[in-house]
Amino acid sequence: MTESLIGFAAVLFLVFLRMPIAIAMGIVGLIGYSQQTNFKAAISMAGRLIIDTAQDYGLSVVPLFILMGLFVNKGGLSRELYQVSYSFLGHMRGGLAMATIVACAGFSAICGSSLATAATMSKVAMPQMRKYNYADSLSTASIAAGGTLGILIPPSVILVIYGLLTETSIGKLFIAGIIPGLLGVLLYLVAVKFTIMRNPNAGPAGERTTWAERFAAVRGIWAVLMLFFLVIGGLYGALDFWPLHLTFSPTEAAGMGAAGAFLIALSRRTLTFSGVMQVLIETAHTTASLFTVLIGAWVFSNFVNLAGLPESLRALVSSTGLGPMAVLVMILGVYIVLGCVFESLSMLLLTVPIFFPLVVSLGFDPVWFGIIVVVVTEISLITPPVGLNVFVLKGVVGDVTTATIFRGVTPFWIVDILRLALLVLVPWLVLVLPNSM
């Protein structure tokens, strides 16, 4: 156990020295594994992992979902989603911020990336909120918080990676994220209302739209609804009826989603040859980055497993006499602290190999724990000092200070903590849908 803790501390030290997390985990894992065995065995293990990762059919779901999200972005679907949300909510105080959150939830359902959701919706929603003199703190906070839904509402790349790391059903993880995702939307709307109650001038009312305009806006999102139904419906057998009889694996669902998003973007004439090439290059770049982090995480995981950290943690927990819920609360506390200095994927890959065996041994459901981990990870995206969604917004909206954005998101991460507590205390909210599959 001592060697594992030293290795964990070494990874943290290297990350604080600005070394990429993938390289830090890979180097520490390689050195630690060679100390436990020998250098030749460590090199052989790392080489085998690289080859297996490159050839793993299950991992092909990752670039396909990334490709789908990029084609969705090119298709301009974010504007239609925002217009629908605005037509129903924009006339209320804080309505534009609420519309932004609802639109982020819809965009998340066909994108799967929090950073992409935040960056895309900022270009759509920020000009409208500035038009109606919204406070910059509320405007940017609603985009940053709404963007976090991208890693929970299916399809989610983070949930895919968790499923691959822990050999948990990706289909069950996807459907388990629906109710917590919708609960997050509801609580974010409450956070907007709270902000408006404290400062009514932060979110003036917009223009009221007619029912005819609302129905017209709803008709404009047919492509979004079709794409979501194709991916999620095919994954869970909702399309398994005559004459279709379509049931997809996660990889097949991702492929159908990418093809559907491409056809939608093509039909809207928003794609050029250079645009397609840009999407393909960005997909390859993002996939390569994710795979590099995955390989580093697996090398580090092999080291801590060989060093006996999971067994030592289980023995330590047994000796202390703490109950499973007390142990879980301690683990969540570690996640919240790490979330202040780590970005979401790095935190997931660094901690899941350590905590997952312990959590399962305590009798917790792996699907439920996956959703809990993702919700904690969502919180890290908007908490100081390293809230990635905040810094993405800062890059897009350069004239708003980081302090202003962090001040605005405070009510949002507070309700996120409340949601986390609710999901921990009432596991039924997470497990009711996957258990009924």
Query: pLDDT tens digits for 376-401?
Result: 888 887 877 767 777 777 777 777 78
Label residue 133 left, alpha or beta by phi (over 0 means left) and psi (-120 to 50 means alpha).
Answer: left
What pLDDT was estimated at residue 397? 75
The CA-to-CA distance between both ends of the chain, in Å, stands at 39
**What's the CA dihedral at 395, 396, 400, 403 to 10 degrees?**
-40
Band (pLDDT 50/70/90 cuts) for residue 155 is confident
Query: pLDDT tens digits for 160-213?
Result: 888 888 889 888 898 899 899 999 999 999 999 999 988 888 888 778 888 888
Q: What is the full DSSP assignment across 300-332?
A: HHHHHHHTTHHHHHHHHHHHHT--HHHHHHHHH
∠ CA(394), CA(397), CA(402), 5° rounding? Answer: 35
How far apart are alpha carbons 186 and 371 in whole angstroms? 17
How far apart are alpha carbons 349 and 1 in whole angstroms? 19
Helix axes 366-380, 402-425, angle to 10 degrees: 160
The larger pLDDT score, comparing residue 325 to residue 116, is at: 325
3-state secondary structure at position 177: coil
Query: pLDDT tens digits for 40-68?
Result: 888 998 888 888 887 877 778 888 888 88
- The amino acid occupying position 83 is Q
Query: pLDDT tens digits for 255-284?
Result: 888 888 888 888 878 788 888 898 889 888
Residue 254: name the closest of 281, 235, 240, 276 by CA.
Answer: 235
Map out the domains of the chain as residue ranges.
2-435
What pLDDT was estimated at residue 403? 84
Q: What is the residue whose two structure tokens read 């490159």?
A: 54
Cis peptide before 243 (omega within 30 of 0): yes
∠ CA(85), CA(191), CA(416), 5° rounding? Answer: 105
Tokens linked to 386: 């390293």
What pLDDT was estimated at residue 150? 76
| Contact by Cβ (8 Å): 137, 113 | no
Report the percent of the chain where pLDDT is more than 70. 94
Give the up-direction half-sphere exposure of residue 281: CA atoms within 13 A in the CB hemisphere.
6
Band (pLDDT 50/70/90 cuts) for residue 241 is low
In sequence order, the β-bridge partners of residue 88 are: none
User: What Cα–Cα distance (Å) separates residue 391 from each residue in 119, 153, 169, 346?
Assistant: 10, 22, 33, 16
